[in-house]
Amino acid sequence: MNSAIIFDMDGTLYQTNLILEPALEATFEQLRKNGLWTGTTPIEKYRQIMGVPLPVVWETLCPEHSIEIRQESNSLFQLALIEQISSCNGALYNEVENTLAKLSKHYPLFIASNGQTEYLQAIADTYQLTKWIKGIYSIDLIASGNKSELVATVLKENNINHGFVVGDRSSDIQAALDNDLISIGVRFDFSQESELEKAHYTVNHFDEIDKIIEHELNTTAFD
């Protein structure tokens, strides 16, 4: 079998929590200056929905605004995030680099994320992820915004018929289930225990992942 490991980005590889607050604050400060928002920045609300497609983010944070204003808000937010990334205000989780380096010797690695292309590329460039990651797939590629369809695209384009999805939200676990892959849930910043209930495995530290994959290698007949 052709096997691979597909990773989520936010809250799985990258500590988005480190750049979320300043980027979101900058965005809503601009909205306040434009007379489009009053009150505090809804950071907690965003933390609760982190990982959902971006249109859903802005429907949730700005339910009274027009589609045009939501799109403008998202553009401001993406620019603020990329600025934070490029300034190295974020970070990869502990042991991500070592684990990716180890796994990449045996498996092709991919990223499938609800983040936009430019955002994902900024992280990949800043932390030189392409040393280990074979392909980066953004939800921009899927009109429906469905994570399961995005993972299916990764499988089809790379002739993969077995492997793993590693992520922190229910959409990652569901994407694995829908595509007959093994799911590994990570209990990091944005994860919620109820969303990881259906995961085949869960980990508290990133370097536990390679042990799980080794276990599967020893118990399952795949390349």
Are residues 25 and 124 located together in one domain of the fold?
A: no
99 and 166 share one domain: yes
Q: How many CB atoms lie within 10 A of CB 180?
A: 10
Measuring CA to CA, which residue among 177, 168, 142, 176 is closest to residue 55? 142
Same domain for 63 and 143? no
Regarding whether 96 and 49 lie in a shared domain, the answer is no
Residue ranges making up the domain that contains 81: 17-86
Give the number of other Cβ atoms within 10 Å of residue 39's Cβ. 7
d(CA 14, CA 209): 15
Query: 38, 57, 86: which is the final residue of a domain?
Result: 86
Number of domains in the chain: 2
Mean pLDDT, the chain, rounded, equals 92
Residue that is last in its domain, among 40, 65, 86: 86
In tens, the pLDDT along 135-175 reads 999 999 998 889 999 999 999 999 998 999 999 999 999 99
φ, ψ of residue 182 to 5 degrees: the values are -90, 130
CB 115 within 8 A of CB 8: no
Per-residue confidence of the chain (223 residues) as pLDDT tens digits? 588 999 999 999 999 989 988 999 999 999 999 999 998 999 889 888 876 778 888 999 999 999 999 999 999 999 999 999 999 999 999 999 999 999 999 999 999 999 999 999 999 999 999 999 999 999 999 988 899 999 999 999 999 989 999 999 999 999 999 999 999 999 998 788 999 999 999 999 999 999 999 888 777 654 4
Pair of tokens at residue 12: 């799985």
Residues 8 and 53 in one domain: no
Residue 185 in contact with residue 152, Cβ under 8 Å?
no
Residues 137 and 38 in one domain: no
pTM equals: 0.91
What CATH number corresponds to the domain at position 137? 3.40.50.1000
**Residues 147, 81 share a domain:** no
**What residue ranges in the chain does DSSP mark as E strands?**
3-7, 109-113, 133-138, 162-167, 182-186, 201-203
139 and 68 fall within a common domain: no
Q: Are residues 81 and 101 in the same domain?
A: no
Is the same domain home to 9 and 55? Answer: no
The residue from 86, 116, 136 where one domain ends is 86
Find out whether 181 and 164 touch, Cβ atoms under 8 Å: yes
Domain identity same for 127 and 210: yes
* 60 and 113 housed in the same domain: no
